[in-house]
Structure 1
Amino acid sequence: MATTKPHGPASYFPSIEAKYGRTIDEWFTAVRDSGRTGHKDIVNWLKTDHAMGHGHATAIAQYHLNPEKWAV
């Protein structure tokens, strides 16, 4: 039986959780609660307010804004 390996932004989720100490669902809740809606605004907020690296912030923003695109 083949397993599906995460692709796209989801491939970053394990390292995001390990490095920043929150689950991905917690990050999505934080983004939603922040009121930010644009990709660049979300990325900048994660980088500035949460000291997240650019690649990790981009992965969260991309998935948050387009979950249907990345669903397995």
Structure 2
Amino acid sequence: MKSSSDGVLMEGQRGSETEWTPLGTDRFSPYLDGRAPLVAGQPEVRRYRMRYLDGDDPAGNWSPVASVTTVP
């Protein structure tokens, strides 16, 4: 893999979800997740993973999972 990437492929999970949801690609930081919470007005744990892109093709392994808690 080359020393720089063309962006990242993003996937996410919310709350108790067990399947990864494709969130698209991002080429610049920061990534903003505009999805509404599963339960309106409640905090929610969201998990994200990323994979480098080489052109438009996924390259390498998925990143470690990053978790954040949203606040209403």
Whose relative contact order is higher, 1 or 2, with alpha carbons under 8 Å and at least 6 apart?
1
Q: Same fold (TM over 0.5)?
A: no
Which one has the bigger helix percentage?
A: 1
Which one has the bigger strand percentage?
A: 2
- TM-score (normalised: structure 1): 0.29
